[in-house]
Structure 1
Amino acid sequence: MTEPCRAESLPAAHKAFLDRISAFIPAERIFLGPFRNLALGDDASFYRLIPKIVIKAVTEAEVARILRTAAAEHVAVTFRTAGTSLSGQALTDSVLVYLAGAWRGLRIHPGAGHISLEPGVIGAEANVRLAPYGRKIGPDPASISACMIGGIAANNSSGMCCGTAENSYKTVESMRLVFADGTALDTADPASRAAFAVARPELLAELAAMRAEILADAELAERIRRKFKIKNTTGYGLNAFIDFEDPFDILLHLIIGSEGTLAFISEVTYRTVVEHPHKASSLMIYPTIDAACRATIALKAGPVSAVELMDRASLRSVEDKPGMPAYLKELSEDAAAILVEVRAADKPGLLAAIDGALSRVAGIEPVFPLIFMDGKDDYEKLWNIRRGLFTSVGGARKPGTAVIIEDVVFPIERLAEGTVELQRLMRDHGFAEGIIFGHALEGNLHFVFCPDFGDPDATAHYRALLDEVAAMVVGRYDGSLKGEHGTGRNMAPFVEMEWGRTAYAYMQRLKAAFDPEGILNPGVILNDDKEVHLKDLKPMPPVDPIIDRCIECGYCESVCPSRNVTTTPRQRIALQRHMALAKQTGDLGEFNDFHDAYAYYGAATCAADGLCATVCPVAVDTGSFTKTYRGREAGDRARKIGRFVADHYGLVTTLASGGLHLSHGVHKLLGTKAMTAMTHGLRKLSRGLVPYWTPTAPKGAPRLELRNTRQGKGRQVVYFPSCTTRAMGPSALDPDQRGLFAAVMSVLAKAGYDVIFPEGLKELCCGLTLESKGLHEDAGRKSAELETVLRKVSNNGAIPILCDASPCLYTMRCKMEPGLKLHEPVEFIHDFCLPHLDLTPVDAAVALHVSCSSVKMGLSAKFAALAKLCAKQVVIPRNIHCCGFAGDRGFFYPELNAAALADLPGQLPATVTAGYSNSRTCEIGLSFHGGIPYQSMAYLVDQAARPK
């Protein structure tokens, strides 16, 4: 399905641009409609601009042609990767080049001293790949699990540990760049540098001239040196003119932190840094901010890798969260804390670092005795306090309000004064709920507050607060208005104020030298509009309590199976908010257009797997909202069908099994080629009502022998075969042609378990099938029926219960009251059967896919451990999260399954001939797209197991 083309409404320049790029960019990678463009243009900032054209570019050559065309037509272009930036630097109302989903090239150099990365690589992925070498990239932003290398470099992102010593500016080795005129440069390649010197001599000459002039101005040169001794991402990195002499080195370092306004980064090579294996942390609580800051100053020259400051309001915001220390509630109103981390290559080095840190703060009296914790679980609990600060405010805010996190830097010796003054300013301007925390070793503070930009008074308060903060940080402390979040639109009006007229003029000259036509991300970093930070504020109208807490940070996008085919959780929520606003303002035409498009792009192709909640800072489960939304949208016909299914579940599963038997028979008769052509033709004629068929489709389930069994070992289990087991058998291509029921029964027999079956099994269902379609009433009824039967047969929970499908088991755990011991197969085998089995690993390489429901139940480690006991080689493909089959979605929206598993085949070595999972429908899609048969883990265990 495609959104209607709106090319006729484009301005003349954009239409001419579109006509020209359509010659080399396929139509499916060009987006024009307001629905898709609002979704793709959304980012983590509190601004909203809707691009006129969005292009998904996938090669450097395409980018070069896009830029040449844009320059010729005088059309502005902005580049976007993950969109986790907070200051409005990745937004445009012109042309957006969207990079996420592509540009994922990664190359570790010999010895792992360097790593080359394309802009679409997630920062955490780079570190995972470097981990076996004991290395990592220097920048460590808090959003590293979601943000991408292009943004990390373009914003000079830092974080809690890297400071100014290991950020992008200090660790960049080289880049591949594309400039506004389409010229390319590889700064590591002498031939490329020579060609660039011929193509762009005026740029290199201007950089050399600017360096000479800046060095000749002793006062300015000294100011630049002084300002970059602390964190500073306000404006352009003028320190490049001080630190380097070669124009190419100057150019390379100017690109860092330039926010896409000078050139496009198609690859960056970093010098990697050591990742110390031994760590310990201490939460040091002091009676006052002043004491906490004095302790920080004492630690500055010590053996510490991070010191995070948290004011009393910060600690109060998390004190009621699970896992927080009880003593947080007992602190005085003036208390503050610093979270200190030390690292070392070995245990003796770690102990020495701990002793060194404690000795440095020995003269400053804490509220509680200081203790360092070196157990991973223990220090992670401490860091969860710090990690939860931003989200605790964002998640608790009033619906309809924005969440803003500002970012300033003070000279460390004046950190206490600056913190106290920030607290006062937030109170004075009506943001008493605000909190302050930050990277204290660098004097870098974040302050978080939640204005309602629908209220003109709140906007006025925000303006006044920012004006006073700028005057205070720059005027009284000579600090930085941005330390790591980038200038963006938000701080662009204050760049000249911070730097002064002379330095600002050099920045304007710099921009003109790189981008004479002004087409690269205009309005960002430099902006003549002194009120740009108050314009285009993002509306956040309430929609539904399930999603109102969303702060649109984008952390969810990396695990979403539909991210590269339709929309992501963040985008769905942004679209829902836009529809709510259109409805409020009476723009029913806009509402109806968006509502119609959302049916496919938002509702139908959401896997509703809930993985988004596992990475969301405020635990928003967009999948849960999707189910609710489907229920609201369901018509009477859908409700009647749902009720019939609920009332006649045995008949429905019997018919489904019969249909699969028939399908298998027709396949045997016609062959794969003819069967594929016939079913795909019927699917097209029926407009998607006929399910999508593949050769990995299952046969009907074999008949289940539901007789209670006795092994005489005194071990009992209630076995509830899922409806997929009762309806679906193996595929014709599966190596083990038994039904899953037979494989599970075989494992249970080998482990010596008596098996008890629930009464009336044919009619029983956990309700997941109905719940996924939003039919909550009937789903709840089926769940309650099942619970009643299970309580009776398990002696009210005395006997453990096994369900052979992970998604069903997860649903049962969520819906049923406590008391029942509910287990999915991998968990039950690992925890209960292993002591009674002898395992001989099969001599094979196998692939593993942990279903999203198992991930949410925390079973990934047990899944891997069990597989490694049963096979000599286990391959777990990376970044394959939800498979996208999503119950029956894969039968009707196969593009979702295909997009989710696009990276699977390339990660399966030729030696891998079989795969294992724990959800029958997931296994259908995994088999088709992986090119190897996937079956339940019960089959693998049964191959390897013998009774003890």
Structure 2
Amino acid sequence: MSQVLLEDIARLPKPFQDFWERVSHCIPVNRRFCDPLYTLAYGIDASFYRLIPKIVLKARTPEEITKILRASQEYKVPVTFRTAGTSLSGQAVTDSVLVVLQGAWRGHSILDEGEKIVLEPGIVGAEANRFLTQYARKIGPDPASIDHAMIGGMAANNASGMCCGTADNSYKTVAEMKIIFGDGTMLDTGNLKSCSDFLNSKAEWVSKISEIRDEIMSDPQLVELIHRKYKIKNTTGYSLNAFVDFTDPIEIIKHLMIGSEGTLGFISEITYNTVIEHAHKASALIIYADMEQACLAVQKLDRETVSAAELMDRISLKTMEDKPGMPEYLKALSPTATALLIEVRGADHEFLEQKIKQVADLLKEIPTVFPISFTAVKAEYENLWNIRKGIFPAVGAIRELGTGVIIEDVAFPKENLAEATLALREILDKYAYPDAIIYGHALDGNLHFVFTQDFGHSEDLPRYEGLMRDVSDLVVSRFGGSLKAEHGTGRNMAPFVEQEWGKKAYILMKRLKAAFDPENLLNPGVIINDDPHSYLENLKNMPQAHKIIDTCTNCGFCQNICTSKNLTLTPRQRIVIQREIQELKRTGQEPERLSRLEKDFDYPGNKTCAVDGLCATTCPLGINTGDYVKFLRSQSVTPTTRWVAESLANHMGGVTSVMRLGLGVVNGAHGLLGTKLMESLTQGARKISGNAIPLWNPWMPKGGKVPFLKEHKAKTLHTNGSSSPLKVVYFPSCISRSMGTAKNDRDQRALSEAMLSVLTKAGCEVISLPKMNGLCCGMPWESKGFFETADRKSKELEEALFAASGEGSYPVLCDTSPCLYRMKRVMHSLKLYEPVEFIYDFLLDRLAFTQSKETIALHVTCSSIKMNLKEKFYTVAHACAEEVIMPEDVHCCGFAGDRGFTFPELNRSALAALKETLPDNCRAGYSNSRTCEIGLSLHSGISYQSIVYLVDKCTKSI
């Protein structure tokens, strides 16, 4: 929800006010921002630059982009495009207008049996590969950020990666493209009429492109330079190879767009030629005595033999040696040891073995610390690759707080790799960066070097400047390499483009930019920048805010999984805002701005955060922004709210009884009034109350039931003739005790009835708890920041369960996954299980399963994901149903306890893609959290219930 005020608009410079007025006719109010909070939140990306846009727009269609660009031309207002914001060189930040694509542009289609794929720019790279899985193919680019980076950014930066090299990058694999240029002109390179119309209407422009090509081709030295520079990875400047590789103006323009970083136009769609994804892989982590030996080994390898060869120096290995699952021998390596991680791929096992033998033969003359050993076991080679993938995040985790992590990206001719790498180490030591690490895609001569820097200290700036000057001289003058190999030129290397390419080539690049963008309105300052010091300006400070979030590097890897990403803020943005707030508090500066940020943060930053913690599962540093938001909530606790929380906790039995009564009354009213009238009345009441009244929906349940066992002592319900029945303590959560089934649920029994039925058939001896109705795990209080109350309730429950379970001897089963997750985190004396894990671990061989022919949907709750139960969830569901649908793009449902009632827009946004991902023949869904199931049912149109119902339906006693 935008908090734009008239005063925010009035503060804009006049051209921006006019621009704002114009785009307000095509971009709705909830997708345009010029207020302090949202412009700051979107202003930060993964780079070490900070520029705060004056206006942020979320564009959703090509038509909107066209109107934005035409308004940009009319009012001379610069525009920058951004997809995921994971780029590292400053190409996606601006102090003008930022156009954000994330959350839309998700169209795709498969062509020619997977040999081509059509993608809109908002698709994540890993998603594109997932679409191609059934064809055993993938897109060519494979950056380390492929699980988070989006296609638009990958194409605009010509991203490559570990196995991509120069053969399979976007430049080499682009087939067709749809482009919107700065003046609003559209070109579809795959449409003959569009191409013809473009050539006729833009004849003067096309002529300028042809003139540049003729000049290049008439200069043999320049042609030779271009050929030489693109034998290795190179993303410095524009793709001049387009002029020597093609004669057709359309092909030249198409390939110039690759790596243009939004400075020549907007890529609204790209068609890739895909590459083969080999099914068989093997990897080896080879340790050499020093960097020189490792580099010499690389020089004996090529892409015909290996798919990847990743170099890692001793310092980089040291950052990973204490991580879980790492080989023990890493800790014992010498100070100079260097690793080479090699991967080979093949169509079958025999071919793979041939490749392994070839590698061994090629490297046999270079001594290693340990014998070379390949593994084709997936879990083992994935663990080896986790070393490589974890290096950059590990640096972020161990850096001094307040410093930023800088990653540079250069390439050398492979024959110079050993000498160049040693020289690079000398420069890093010269400028007092002893902890800097060197690693990278050595097979391509592509090295990354990573170091930390505090740009808050002005005395450190000359040191950084000196480093960059010496590195530039080393790469360009001494070895003829690339200053940017795969991360894009951005702002970071724009002042050095002329040094790398020479004056003539640089002048041609400037003419190229002027031909596409004569007013310099498309991402100005990126790639072409005549200010020699621009790379030293607008550097980002990393102030501390709280120990939970201080290690954040702004990488943005948390964003795709965030529940509120398309509604309000992402974890990265919440951290950005909180860092700013805490810095303003420390310095005492801008009190009015501080007050505004604190006020405006409440809804997007606090109230619409699901605090599900899934962000920690994709964050390289494991940062749980949800925990931080809980901390913020705890800071707003007052004596009055604490008293209310304590009173509710002390009268838990009465609270659940009132809930059951209230839900029963509401359910009765629903039956009497009907759905339409009930919706109308409750929506009206909520509106009149200013949204204070929770929103009713048709899947609101009736009151639940408290299961009743005559004795709380062990009682055998059914043993199936077994002499040693499985004893289990069953604790129905307060949610399942309070909330029953909805009117349209398929099974109208209480969850406890279904659970006891399953346990009975499995021959379990069920133990119940005395005074069950007053017990709770504490989760409702924890999520709202009442930590002491939550812990007290947890302790109370743990004591009761400890006694009932024979002092922790018997397993404890709780029927609600989020509750069980909290119990596991705070109770350490018990063997705790939620339904899926208990059924998988104990009951699969105690029950006779009959697989139903129906298609079912499965939702793995965020708590189950964090407990690593996804595979067990699928196994149990598939034992019951032939076809199980698990929508990949649906993560946390956003119901978040009671927020599905109080902030239903969060649940609606989180599940916006659910219904369209379910096939028409899917009539039932299953999960393991009652509140989640309400939201899932509402936004899918089918009944979601606990997976316990499914298991009960599809099993019999053995």
> C-alpha separation between the residues in 2 aligned to 1:884 and 1:430?
48
Which deviations, in whole Å up to 9, do the C-alpha atoms of 1:793-819 show, x marking residues without a partner? 1112211110000001111111112x4
**TM-score (ref. length: structure 2):** 0.98
Report the residue type matching 2:643 in the other structure: K
Partner of 2:72, secondary structure, is helix
**Aligned mates of 2:624, 2:444 — CA distance in 1:** 36
SS across alignment from 2:813: strand
Q: Which residue of 2 aligns with 1:908?
A: 918
- CA deviation digits over 1:452-478, x for unaligned, max 9? 111112222211111111111111111
Deviates more, 1:872-881 or 1:253-262: 872-881
Q: Deviations over 1:221-269 (max 9, x none)?
A: 1111111111100111111111111111111111000000001000000
Q: What's 2:694 paired with?
A: 691
Contact map agreement 1:302 1:357 (CA 8 A) in 2: no
Determine which of 43, 49, 61 is the counterpart of 1:41. 43
Q: Determine if the alignment matches structure 1 residue 729 to structure 2 residue 740.
A: yes
Q: Deviations over 1:336-364 (max 9, x none)?
A: 11000000010001001100111100110
Percent pairwise identity = 53
State the partner residue of 1:668. 671
Q: Distance in 1 between matches of 2:70 and 2:638?
A: 50
Tell me, in whole angstroms, the C-alpha distance in 2 between the residues paired with 1:366 and 1:130. 39
Given that residues 755 and 948 in structure 2 are in contact (C-alpha distance below 8 angstroms), is that contact kept between their aligned partners in structure 1? yes
Of 882, 891, 901, which aligns to 1:881? 891
Residue 754 (1) aligns with residue 765 (2): yes
Q: How does 1:510-589 map to 2 (within 5 A)?
A: 510-586=512-588, 587-589=590-592
Q: 1:470 aligns with which of 469, 472, 478?
A: 472
Residues 703, 808 of structure 1: CA spacing in aligned structure 2 closer, same or farther, 3 A cutoff?
A: closer
Partner SS, residue 559 of structure 2: helix
TM-score, with normalisation over the residues of structure 1? 0.99
> Residues 106 and 121 of structure 2 are in contact (CA less than 8 Å); yes or no, is this contact kept in structure 1?
yes
1:698 Cα offset (Å): 0.8
Preserved contact between residue 545 and residue 583 of structure 2 (Cα < 8 Å): no
* Preserved CA contact (<8 Å) 2:813 2:834: yes
State which of 741, 751, 762 in structure 2 corresponds to 1:740: 751
| Counterpart mapping for 1:764-803 below 5 A | 764-803=775-814
Question: Could you tell me which residue of structure 1 aligns to residue 3 of structure 2?
Answer: 3
Give 1:235's aligned residue.
237
Count of matched residue positions in the alignment of Structure 1 and Structure 2: 947
- For residue 652 of structure 2, what is the aligned residue in structure 1? 649
Alignment partner, residue 629 of structure 2 = 626
Paired AA for residue 347 in structure 2:
A
Greater mean alpha carbon deviation, residues 47-56 or residues 274-283: 47-56
Aligned partners of 2:610 and 2:626 also within 8 Å: yes
Structure 2: how far apart are the matches of 1:267 and 1:495?
28
Separation (CA, whole Å) in 2 of partners of 1:822 and 1:903:
33
Q: For residue 309 of structure 1, report the CA deviation from its aligned partner.
A: 0.2
- 1:300 aligns to what SS in structure 2? coil
Q: Aligned equivalents of 1:888 and 1:795: distance in 2?
A: 34
| Residue in structure 2 matched with residue 924 of structure 1 by the alignment | 934
- 8 Å contact from structure 1 (residues 289, 335) kept in 2: yes
Answer yes or no: is the 8 Å Cα contact 1:885–1:897 preserved in 2: yes
For 1:447 and 1:54, how far apart are their aligned partners in 2?
33
| 2:40 counterpart letter in structure 1 | L
Encode CA deviations 1:674-711: one digit per residue, 9 max, x unaligned.
Answer: 22222222222222221111010111113421345412
**Does the residue aligned with 1:543 lie in a helix, a strand or coil?**
coil
Cα separation, partners in 2 of 1:338 and 1:78, compared to 1, 3 Å: same
Distance 1:141 1:403 in 2: 18
Q: Is the 8 A contact 1:302 1:356 kept in 2?
A: no
CA-CA distance at 1:2 after TM superposition: 3.4
One-letter identity of the residue aligned with 1:758 = L
Deviations 1:880-924 (A, max 9, x none): 000000111111110100000000011112211111000000000
Query: Is 1:831 aligned with 2:834?
Result: no
Contact 1:560 1:612 (8 Å CA) reproduced: yes
Letter in 1 for 2:746: P
Structure 1 residue runs without a partner (length 5+): none
Please state how far the C-alpha of 1:301 moved relative to its aligned partner. Answer: 5.7
Match of 1:97 in 2: 99
1:295 aligns with 2:297: yes
Per mean C-alpha deviation after superposition, the further-off stretch among 803-812 and 635-644 is 635-644
* Matched residue, 2:427: 425
The one of 802, 810, 826 aligned to 1:815: 826
Q: Indicate the residue corresponding to 2:125 in structure 1.
A: 123
The residue number in structure 2 matching 1:612 is 615
**Aligned partner of 2:275: which letter?**
V
1:896 matched residue in structure 2: 906
Q: Where do 1:445-484 residues align within 5 Å?
A: 445-484=447-486
Shift of 1:559: 0.5
Q: Distance in 1 between matches of 2:323 and 2:887?
A: 34
Contact 1:183/1:199, CA 8 A, preserved across alignment: no
CA shift at 1:219, angstroms? 1.2
Residue among 462, 486, 489 paired with 1:487: 489
Q: Report the alpha carbon displacement of residue 636 of structure 1 after superposing the two structures with TM.
A: 2.4
SS in 2 for 1:97: strand
Superposed displacement of residue 302, structure 1: 4.8
Tell me if structure 1 keeps the 8 A contact 2:706–2:773: no
Identify the residue that residue 719 of structure 1 maps to in structure 2: 730
Alignment of 1:843-882 (within 5 A): 843-882=853-892
Helix, strand or coil: the match of 2:300? helix
Shift of 1:24: 2.1
Matched, 1:53 2:55: yes
SS in 1 for 2:449: strand
Tell me how far apart the structure 2 counterparts of residues 250 and 910 of structure 1 sit (CA, whole Å): 45
Q: Provide the residue aligned with 2:707 in structure 1.
A: 704
Match of 1:211 among 210, 213, 224: 213
Kept in 1, the 8 Å contact 2:4–2:33? The answer is no
RMSD between superposed Cα atoms in Å: 1.1
1:275 shift after superposition: 0.2
Structure 2: distance between partners of 1:517 and 1:2: 31
Q: Structure 2: 5+ residue runs without aligned partners?
A: none
Give the letter aligned to residue 932 of structure 2: C
| Aligned-partner Cα distance in 2 for 1:222–1:2 | 53
Question: Per-residue deviation at 1:449?
Answer: 0.8
Look up the SS of the partner of 2:21 in the other structure: helix
Whole-Å Cα distance in 2 between the matches of residues 179 and 853 of structure 1? 45
Question: Displacement of 1:670 after TM fit?
Answer: 2.3
SS state at 2:845 partner: helix
* Cα distance in 2 for residues equivalent to 1:658 and 1:450: 59
Answer yes or no: is the 8 Å Cα contact 2:58–2:101 preserved in 1. yes
